[in-house]
Amino acid sequence: MSETVLEGLLFDGRSAAATPVRIAIAGGVLTITTPDGALLSEHGLARLTVTEAFATAPRQIGLPGGGVVEVPDGAALAAALSAAGRRPGLVDWLEARWRTALAAVVVCVAVIVAAYLYGLPAAAGWIARTLPASAERRLGDGVLELLDGHVLRPTALSEEEQRAAQERIDEAARLGAPAVKYRLLFRSAGFGPSMNAFALPGGTVVVLDGLVRGTASDDRLVAIVGHELGHVARRHSAQALLKSAGVGAAASLLWGDFSGQAAAIPAALAMFDYSRDAEREADEDAVRFLRAAGRSALPMAEALCLLQCVEREASLGAMPRLLSTHPKLAERIQHVRELRGVDPSYRCPEPAPAGSPCGPDEDDGDDEPGTCGAGEAPRPSGD
């Protein structure tokens, strides 16, 4: 039986001192001796760990009890182990079969992508659907506290403006969404345009001042809030938060365990990145909401045109996602036009000249709506 003898350094695991040794591999046994042949120890190969080969770097043999033998000639050690019947490690095996390694990488990437695109949304949806209502409300309260502290300001609307908007929305909700429990709050945007509204987990709908002042006399406000009530009823906000920010961030919002409140803002804003399907469902809910409330469905298309105008204005400068309109507006407008009750020939008004405001300028305290198009927020030529 052939025996391979290699030079090495023994580290006993108790000190940093290195002892020159010789190792011999034969018959499934590793024998360690001093350079002059004195036996130090013997070990079965099955009980040893061997580091993977990496170019010309030395390899280490882990011994029972914590000792290590470092072998400078890694290639010779690999040959000796192979001759003794020890199979190579996974890394060695893959390095010798690069096509297999490449295929494994492709499979891993595909699994990760599939988990993100399908597994994560499915898991987030299941958790959101089974989340107790009280927990969902606490989650929404946590998000609101963060936004109030860093992004939003107290409303500048008068009590009369708030009451009029609340009554208009409540009247429509009693007919259009009687089963949806919600709480309406008014806030002012800390910076940037404010022609928007958004739903939080647990049923809170925040309406920004600019939207109230820009749509107070028509049903576009009702349409936009109806869209947000669709998100509330379907628990889209909790689902989006769980998907984008993760269960850990959601738990922190739920129990208020943040080491730094400002660092948690991205987790809170992540919930406003709704999927295409979620936006489509909420748009359809808004159209049904308007019709059930005895109103025309056309204001939903008009409202999306208004938001598109705001988005066009916002593109002139940086704008946080919370204050921006929802994505894919052109696609959503097309979908709403195809729904029953909306004239499919309806088109958004021509865009305003660059720099023309779509909504009111909150800094001047003027209650009058701004412009979008020819001096007013977008409206159709007829109902």
Give the architecture-level CATH label for domain 4-87.
Roll (2.30)
Q: How far apart are CA 7 and CA 31, in angstroms?
A: 12
Task: Identify the bridge partners of residue 127 per DSSP, sorted by sequence position.
Answer: none
Distance CA 354, CA 370 (A): 14
Q: What confidence score (pLDDT) does residue 282 get? A: 92
Rounded to whole angstroms, the Cα distance separating 225 from 219 reads 10
What average pLDDT values come out for the chain (383 residues) when binned by 10 residues?
81 88 89 92 88 78 90 86 73 64 84 75 71 84 86 92 93 92 91 79 93 84 94 88 62 51 53 78 92 88 85 55 57 84 76 54 44 40 37
In DSSP terms, which residues pair with 216 in a beta bridge? none
For residue 29, the SS3 value is strand
Which pLDDT belongs to residue 50?
86
pLDDT of residue 254: 53
Give the model's pLDDT for residue 196. 85
Three-state secondary structure call for residue 227: helix
Amino acid 251: pLDDT: 54
Give the E-state strand segments of the chain in sequence order: 4-11, 19-26, 29-33, 39-44, 49-50, 59-62, 68-71, 152-154, 183-189, 197-199, 204-208
- Report the C-alpha dihedral over residues 328, 334, 340, 346, rounded to 10 degrees: 130
User: Cβ contacts of residue 124 below 8 Å, gap of 6+?
Assistant: 239, 240, 242, 243
| CA neighbor of 276 nearest in space, from 325, 319, 233, 328 | 328
Domain ranges in the chain are: 4-87, 97-130, 132-338
| Among 141, 147, 154, residue whose Cα is nearest residue 183 | 141
d(CA 156, CA 172): 24
